């Protein structure tokens, strides 16, 4: 939406709309690279970069990581005075703009799960702990068909200590940030708190900062009991307790997986992670190690571009195929572990 946070809208070659995000506003420049390489109906796609006309070698600036390809350089209209990352323009309404009276508790929970799944997908594809850190009703779009998409990743970061801006740099909306954000003790579960506050604020029609304990309790009572309990868990000050809201989901698996691959990650040796590992049978572990998945999974293989028509402003490319094969797709690996035998 072009009226959100003064988002700049431009036009690419071929007439496609794009959103311009100045590079200086980004906490972690690796995030646009990832959003360029992966596909999800619940995440915006990075289309490339643009530079002022007088910066002929500007594209070289974006080759930030060894082994990472440069992002495509685009000429846009109107030209920008500063270097920008370009993202697909998504049609839709924010959670704040929706008519709350027409939305059921089941729909709220479905959107909650889709955003949680999108956060998990980022961690699985990157192999790193990740936090968006700026969840709010203005940063979740709902398409005309009801698909949810998380936007505005300029303040997000991989939690490995290697970001483009100092660790002290923070981007957060008052009322939606968990207490650990203010102490610099970030963890992936920080987003679970922000997402819960986002749902409650949008559902009640108020800002998170104006939600008192009494108002929060009254709002939770209006939602289905199961979903209400999940939101209560997400609002805990303890990140471990928040994990209980996403048990047996791809998010729980992603947390345990990146914790193993990133030994320095906070909350590594925890009962939550250990119990998740114990739920995987030896047979399942063997199949995962051999790269063998059940045959029936192949017939239901998920194409992450399947619902891309929900957000039609996406330039297509005949060679724009899923970067994963059947044997190494992390999505299938998660599905196999969650579904079990």
Q: In DSSP terms, which residues pair with 140 in a beta bridge?
A: 150
Predicted pLDDT of residue 307? 41
What pLDDT digit, counting tens, does each position of 202-251 carry? 999 999 999 999 999 999 999 999 999 999 999 999 999 999 999 999 99
Instruction: State the average pLDDT over residues 19-41.
Output: 93
Identify the architecture of domain 93-278 in CATH. Orthogonal Bundle (1.10)
104's tokens: 């059921």
Give the Cα separation of 223 and 69 in Å (integer): 46
Tell me the whole-structure pTM to 2 decimals.
0.75
Under a CB-based contact definition with an 8 Å cutoff, are residues 260 and 229 in contact?
no
What pLDDT digit, counting tens, does each position of 253-292 carry? 999 998 766 655 554 333 333 333 333 333 333 333 333 2
What pLDDT digit, counting tens, does each position of 48-106 carry? 999 887 765 444 444 444 444 578 989 898 888 889 999 999 999 999 999 988 999 99
Predicted pLDDT of residue 182? 85
Instruction: State the average pLDDT over residues 39-44.
Output: 95
Q: What are the start and end residues of each CATH 1.10.510.10 domain in the chain?
A: 93-278
Helix residue ranges per DSSP H, the chain: 30-37, 105-126, 190-204, 213-221, 225-234, 239-243, 250-261, 271-278, 282-290, 295-299, 330-339
């Amino acid at each position: 939406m072009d009226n959100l946070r003064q988002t700049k809208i431009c036009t690419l070659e071929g007439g496609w709309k794009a959103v311009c995000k100045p590079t200086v506003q980004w906490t972690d420049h690796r995030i646009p690279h990832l959003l360029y390489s992966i596909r999800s109906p619940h995440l915006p796609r990075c289309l490339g970069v643009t530079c002022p006309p007088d910066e002929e070698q500007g594209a070289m600036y974006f080759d930030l990581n060894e082994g990472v390809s440069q992002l495509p350089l685009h000429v846009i209209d109107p030209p920008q005075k500063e270097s920008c990352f370009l993202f697909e323009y998504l049609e839709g309404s924010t959670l704040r703009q929706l008519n709350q009276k027409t939305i059921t508790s089941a729909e709220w929970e479905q959107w909650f799960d889709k955003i949680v799944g999108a956060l998990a997908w980022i961690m699985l594809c990157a192999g790193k702990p990740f936090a968006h850190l700026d969840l709010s009703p203005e940063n979740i779009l709902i398409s005309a068909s009801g698909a949810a998409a998380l936007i505005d990743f300029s303040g997000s970061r991989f939690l490995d200590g290697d970001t483009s801006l100092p660790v002290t740099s923070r981007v957060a909306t008052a009322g939606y940030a968990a207490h650990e954000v203010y102490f610099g003790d970030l963890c992936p579960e920080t987003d679970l708190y922000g997402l819960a506050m986002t749902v409650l604020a949008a559902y009640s029609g108020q800002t998170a900062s104006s939600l008192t304990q009494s108002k929060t309790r009254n709002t939770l009572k209006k939602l289905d009991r199961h979903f209400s309990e999940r939101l209560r868990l997400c609002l805990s000050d303890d990140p471990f307790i928040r994990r209980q809201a996403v048990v047996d989901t791809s998010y729980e698996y992603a947390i345990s997986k990146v914790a193993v691959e990133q030994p320095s990650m906070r909350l590594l040796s925890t009962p939550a992670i250990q119990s998740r590992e114990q739920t995987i049978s030896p047979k399942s572990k063997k199949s995962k190690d051999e790269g063998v998945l059940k045959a029936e999974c192949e017939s239901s293989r998920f194409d992450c571009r399947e619902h891309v028509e929900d957000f039609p402003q996406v330039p297509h490319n005949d060679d724009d195929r899923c970067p994963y094969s059947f044997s190494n797709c992390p999505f299938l690996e998660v599905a196999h572990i969650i579904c079990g035998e």
